[in-house]
């Protein structure tokens, strides 16, 4: 693909989860308000689960007063928020440390994308056409990654402490169909 045709959000504040998602999906589909709504819903579910059953009132109050584990004031969003956001698109991410992802680590070029986190920064590594790109929002532009270098690049990220997940990404036709449904969902809510 032409480098100018690749959607690449650059870092704004601490919104790397938003940039990571939008770079993965190749368009401006998520904003901080939508991601914060997802984080709040996750927090509510988690707090409801933690306060189920017969627990003392003081313990319940402590749980309810806890700050969000899914977002913070800086704009950081958790992997759970990213995962829930991708579910809207019928996409899922799986940690590469999962036994079912052995094939992805052995032959990463057969995957469609990788999402990585290191020290609270999210990045997307994505195949566009038949080529791989580092769509890190801290970079000025997408960086081309050869198929040969992809394995080494992912291994280096893991050695540096990045948590890496693989995600299935839709074809361009499927993506166009999902975009329409995605916009309708947010428009109607």
**Considering 8, 16, 20, 22, which one is annotated as catalytic?**
16
> What is residue 23's predicted lDDT score, i.e. its pLDDT?
96
> Where on the phi/psi map is residue 13: left (φ > 0), alpha (ψ -120 to 50), or beta?
left
**Considering 70, 117, 134, 136, which one is annotated as catalytic?**
136
Report the C-alpha dihedral over residues 88, 26, 187, 11, rounded to 10 degrees: 100
**Considering 70, 121, 134, 162, which one is annotated as catalytic?**
121
Q: Is 16 a catalytic residue?
A: yes
Q: Is 121 a catalytic residue?
A: yes
User: Which segments of the chain are extended strands (E)?
Assistant: 93-95, 113-118, 121-128, 131-134, 143-145, 163-167
Q: pLDDT per residue over 79-130, tens digit each?
A: 899 999 999 998 888 887 778 778 887 888 988 898 888 777 899 999 999 9
Phi, psi (deg, nearest 5) at residue 123? -135, 155
Decide: pTM greater than 0.85: no
Of 69, 89, 154, 148, the C-alpha closest to 115 is 154
Q: pLDDT per residue over 139-158, tens digit each?
A: 999 999 999 999 888 888 77
Count the Cβ atoms, other than its own, within 10 Å of residue 59.
Answer: 11
Q: Is 117 a catalytic residue?
A: no
């Amino acid at each position: 693909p032409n480098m100018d045709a690749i959607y690449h959000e650059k870092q704004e504040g601490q919104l790397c989860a938003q940039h990571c998602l939008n770079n993965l999906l190749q368009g401006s589909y998520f904003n901080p308000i939508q991601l914060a709504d997802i984080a709040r819903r996750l927090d509510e579910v988690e707090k409801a689960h933690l306060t189920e059953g017969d627990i003392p009132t003081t313990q319940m109050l402590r749980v309810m007063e806890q700050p969000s584990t899914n977002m913070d004031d800086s704009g950081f969003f958790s992997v759970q928020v990213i995962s829930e956001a991708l579910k809207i698109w019928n996409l899922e991410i799986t940690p590469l440390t999962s036994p079912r992802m052995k094939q992805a680590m052995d032959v990463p070029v057969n995957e469609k994308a990788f999402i990585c986190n290191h020290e609270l920064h999210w990045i997307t590594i994505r195949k566009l056409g038949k080529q791989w790109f580092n769509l890190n929002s801290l970079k000025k532009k997408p960086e081309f990654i050869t198929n040969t270098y992809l394995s080494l690049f992912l291994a280096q990220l893991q050695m540096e402490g990045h948590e890496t997940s693989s995600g299935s990404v839709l074809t361009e036709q499927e993506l166009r169909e999902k975009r329409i449904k995605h916009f309708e969902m947010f428009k109607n809510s």
